[in-house]
Each structure stands twice: as C-alpha cells, then as structure tokens.
Amino acid sequence: MSKFLEFKVDLKSFIKELNEKIVANNKKVEKLLKIKEKSFTNFVKPLEMMDEYLEQFFTPLSHLNSVKNTKQTQKIYAASLPIITEYSTKLSQNLDIYKAYKEIQKKEQKSLNQEQKRVLELNILNFELSGAHLDEKSKKRLQEINIKKSELSNNFSQNLLDATNEYEYIINDAKDVEGLPQSDLQSAKFKEDGVTKYRFTLQMPSYIAYMTYGKNEKIREELYRAYVTRAPQNAKIIDELLSLKSEMSILLGFKNYAAYSLASKMAKDEKSVLDFLEKLIANSKAQAKKELEELQRIAKKPLQSFDTAYYSEILKKEKYEIDEEEYRPYFEQKSVLEGMFEFLNRLFGISFEKAEEELWHKKATSYNLHVDNRLKARLYLDLEARKGKQGGAWMNNFQTHCQDEKGSEQLASAVIVCNFPPSSSKNPSLLRHDDVVTLFHEMGHALHHMLSNVGENEVSGVNGVEWDAVEFPSQFLENFAYEPSVLKLFACHHKTKEILPDEMIEKLVKSKNFLSALGILRQLEFSLFDFKLHTKLYHGDEIQNLLDSIREETALIKPPSYNKFQNGFSHIFAGGYAAGYYSYKWAEVLSADAFFGVVEEGIFDSKIAKKYLHVILESGGAKSMDILFKELMGREPNPDNLLRLNGII
C-alpha cells in the first residue's frame, strides 16, 4: 500500500460515502463510550484517528473546489458542509466525551507524555469553547449557528471567485499598453477578427500588471473600481456572520467574539492586542508620511488609491535604479523551486525528489521529502493562475505525521497553491520577486507540517499551534528570499543561465524595505479593523463607518467612497482569521527575532537554524509556541526586531 493517499474524489458518490462514514463514526463513539476503564490508548487515540481519517476523506473535495472549481464541485461541496458541520458540532459538544477526557487527564497525569497531555489540554478547552457544558437548547442553537456560518463563509468565497472570473477589460489601443512588460503583454494579447487586442482580468498576475505599469489612469481606475467593488452581495453575508458570531460568543459566556477567539491564542486579552497594534501604528507613521511625500513628488498630482502601484514602480526605478521586469528572466518558476530545495538542503539537511503520479491538473506536481535518506513526507504544488482557481496563495495539510492506533507511523503530506503567471509552450512562468517571497512563505508553512516528529496527530505539524503563532515558520523562511547567498542558488537567467549579478542583488536587497512603513500601516489597518469589528456587534453602515474611522489613523491616501474592501476580506469572512488577522504581525515578532539570530551566525553555519528544525518544526503543536520560542532562543522575543526587519527606525 502507498504511504500517501491520492487527491482523488468521486463526486457522484461523495455525499453517500460521507454520510456512511459519519454513521460509522457515530457508532464508534457509542462503542467507545461503553468502555468501563477508559484510557488515553483505548479511548482518546481511536477518537483522534477517527477525526484524522474523516479529514483525509474531506480534504480532496475542498481542495478540488478551490483549484478546479466547477458547478459540480460547488454543488457537492455546498451539500457536504451542513453534514460535516452538524457532525463535528455534535461531537465537540458531547458531554460524555468531555467528562471522559477530564477523568483521563486526572487519572493518567503522571504516565502521559507531553504530546498526550497537550492533546487532552486542547481538547478540553475546545469542548468548553464548543459548549459541551451547556444545556440542550443552547447546544442545538450553537449547532444551527455553526451550520449557517459554514454555509455563509462558503457563499462569501464563491461570490468572490465568481466576480473575479466574470470580469474582463479589453484594450483595443496599443498605446494603452505601452510600458507593460513583454511577458504580461504576451499573456494579455489575443486576436479578434484579425485585430490585436489585450484582455485584463481581476486575477492577480493580470490585475497587478496593469496597476503597476499601465499608463492610462482611466483604465487603472476602472480596474481598481472593479476589484474593490467585487461581490456586493457579500455585505449581507457579513451582517449575518457578525450577528451569528456575536450570538455564539454570548451563548458560550464571552462578552464578544474577540474574547472567544483569544481563549485559544497566545495573546492574553483584547488590551494586549490593541496596545500591540496601536504601538506599531505610532512607530510606523512618521516614516510612512515621509514615504508618501516621496511618492507625491514623483506623481506631481494628488495621489489616488489606483495610482500607488504605478508611481511606486517609477519611484523604485529612480531611487534604486531597479526595474522589476529586468529581474523576472532570472526567476523562472522551475529554477526558483529547485534552488529553494537546494537552500533547504543546505540549511536543514533535507532533500526533495520528484514523485511521478497523476494529479488534478497537468501543471500540478509532487515531490517526496527525505530526511537522512529516509522518506519523511510528500509535497504537492499547484503554482500557476488559471480560471476556476481561487486567487491568492495558501498551504493545505492533507495527511498528518503520527502513530496510528496500531503504532504504525503515518507520514505527512501538504499542498502549496499559488497564482503565479501561467507558463505555455512558448513562454516559461517568470516570477516577480514578490512571487518568490510568496513561495518561500508557503513553503515555511508546509515544512512546519511535513517535518513534524510528533506521534499524536491533533498536535502534530500545524495542528494545535496557536493561531497567532502559526505564521512564524512561514515568515521566518520568506525572509531568506532576500539573502544574497540564497538568491545565488536559484536566480539564474532562464536563457543565458547567467547568475543574477551582484549589482542587481544589491539593488534588490536595498529596495527590500521600499515603502515598508506604508505597507505596515496597511496591514495594521486590516488587523485593527478585523479585531475591533469583533469587539461588539456592528451592522450595515456601522461596518463601513468603523473602517473609515480606522483609516483616519492609518490610510495616508484616502480610498474612494466606492471602495468596499470588506466584501473581499476572505481571510476573516471565509478563512480562519476572524479576530485574528493581527496574528501576521504578532508572529512576525518571533520570525524576525529568529531570522536575525540565524543571519548573525552565518546562514549555512547557523546553530540556531539546526535548533529551529528540531525545536520549532519537529515539535508541531505539542507545546505552546511561547515555550518553544524560549527553548529556541533562550529568552523572550524582542519586539524591536520586527521594526528592524522592516527598516523602521
């Protein structure tokens, strides 16, 4: 039998099979609850693995719905959500399981290992956060809320994908595409009735290309308007979601959703998060104002939101003599991937080998990950933009490293999805340096999952890691995409094979923190909006008013009134970041600190890097990241390193 499951789904029989698995699982729970002398081995472990196997069955469908979205995947996925949500809600509210876990925790305190203790600790917390201790009426209402929330989140995501897929802007006049990079022109160009035209869409490679290089201000505004007004029907979904989250939190004994969310995070309370964000805003603002003054000087006009990318590119060229398009021939997708593998081999001693298997799309690939010449995990990659694929970039875990009920080792697998420029028979996929950073970021998440040595699946890999620490490994790795010794491993011209010249590397490194304070302010705007939005119940126009009031503090260029950013904020309305978007910055304190530790020792001679592999990556969620970080660095994290990393004085 293969060590890795296939990403295959039978859409016709999926719902039937899902229902059968749930019936079987419910029977298993009843049987396990009848055990008189319950222990971790005979009770907790089978429940853990039951959850793992159901996830392995469900993940290929949710993955397919994200990367190969069709009417059929939409229908099956939407039909499966209420089934899986009802089942998982009932399980998480089962008072008998909750009591059994508490009894086992008390009885086996001395004989359990650290991983097993953590499994019980997190499960007991999750039972309490799911309302296992509540009366039946409250439990039933929580179940209804969870089902409705999952449906609404799915609708939010689908509305956004549909709006992105439906829009296109056709340019007939070649003057309007002057100055655009050749690779972007090739992707946009098509012929109609013998006339050459150019098609631009809201998919990231296409949208960014025109916003960065398109000279025609009216077209930039038209594209920007289309992008920030996508899926207006999501406004109603936001109202419903916020109302349901508020009701849920109050039922569970919390004053608001933010307090509920923090119960399972590193941050202690609302004040800690708000103080952290406000302090970063205060530290970034003066530099951001100076950066804006430079942009204004170049633009010679009052700047609008749809101007920033365009004039930023002009300023960047003037300031650093850097033209991003000159770099792209050096960042051919396959070369970057192989160079990243080489870097990881030198940093951690791990290696990747191509795996031959048929996947969901001809552009998707897979690799076996080896540690000390031993097969450790499998990595799947789907890196290019196409229609029917959700925008953005993410890592999904599929299998989790653990020991199963019989004591056999289950290996881990993970998938990285990005939306890089598509390759064709004529043109390779040439990345922007930002794309390279994105790939390193997602690889950081994947390594965190795949290199785990933990035996309990619920705290192995990315499982069990506090949400405000989960970005630590991804941000840590992305920082190396600017290091000269790392760049030289993969930045070679796809035609001449010339390594990226030192002069160009120097310019790239110097430009790393170009407009960084403005960028931080934008992230802090999102974080503050998300967190404050969940501290009390906002509805209708109050949501826009809240965002506008935060922008008074953070947005140095005022967005136009038609900008409805919130309707596309998938991270918090269709992902897991509600009241947790601040996590990106919270985790960046840890990642910046660890990164400087490695660089100061010399990247490939670093003891901290080897320690990071064993302490952080191999430990998964078996201990709180608070404890693991102190084990790694021998001290508390230093917040000043976050500002240092971003070049903020």
**Residues with catalytic function:** 442
Side chain identity at residue 598, one-letter code: V
Contacting residues for 509 by C-beta, under 8 A, at least 6 apart: 482, 484
Give the angle 586-590-591 at the CA atoms, nearest 5°. Answer: 105
Q: Find all residues with CB under 8 Å of 153, minimum gap 6, and list them.
A: 241, 573, 574
Q: What DSSP letter does each residue of 230-243 carry, written as one string? A: --TTHHHHHHHHHH
Closest by Cα among 106, 61, 126 to 263: 126
Confirm if 21 and 54 have CB atoms less than 8 A apart: yes
610 sits in which H/E element: helix 607-612
Separation CA 171–CA 220 (nearest Å): 12
For 435, the 3-state DSSP assignment is helix
Task: Residue count of the chain, please give it.
Answer: 649
Compute and round to an integer the Cα radius of gyration of the chain.
25
Specify which residues 350 forms β-bridges with: 371
Whole-number Å distance between alpha carbons of 607 and 586: 25
DSSP 430: B
Residue 441 token pair: 């970021």
- The terminus-to-terminus CA distance of the chain in angstroms comes to 57
Chain centroid to CA 199: how far? 29
Q: Are 57 and 21 in contact (CB under 8 A)?
A: yes
Ramachandran class of 534: left when φ > 0, alpha when ψ lies in -120 to 50, beta otherwise: alpha
Contacts of 640 (CB under 8 A, 6+ apart): none
Question: What contacts 378, CB < 8 A, 6 or more positions away?
Answer: 3, 4, 355, 366, 367, 368, 369, 399, 411, 412, 413, 414, 450
Residue 303 contacts residue 558 (beta carbons within 8 Å)? no
> ∠ at Cα 462 (28, 261), nearest 5°?
85
Q: What is the DSSP string of 521-556?
A: HHHHHHHHHHHHHTTS---THHHHHHHHHHHHHH-S
Please, which residues bridge with residue 384 across strands? Answer: 420
Rounded to 10 deg, the angle between the 204-213 and 308-320 helix axes is 70
> Residue 478: which residues within 8 A CB-CB, separation 6 or more?
437, 438, 440, 441, 444
Residue 246 tokens, joined: 């508020």
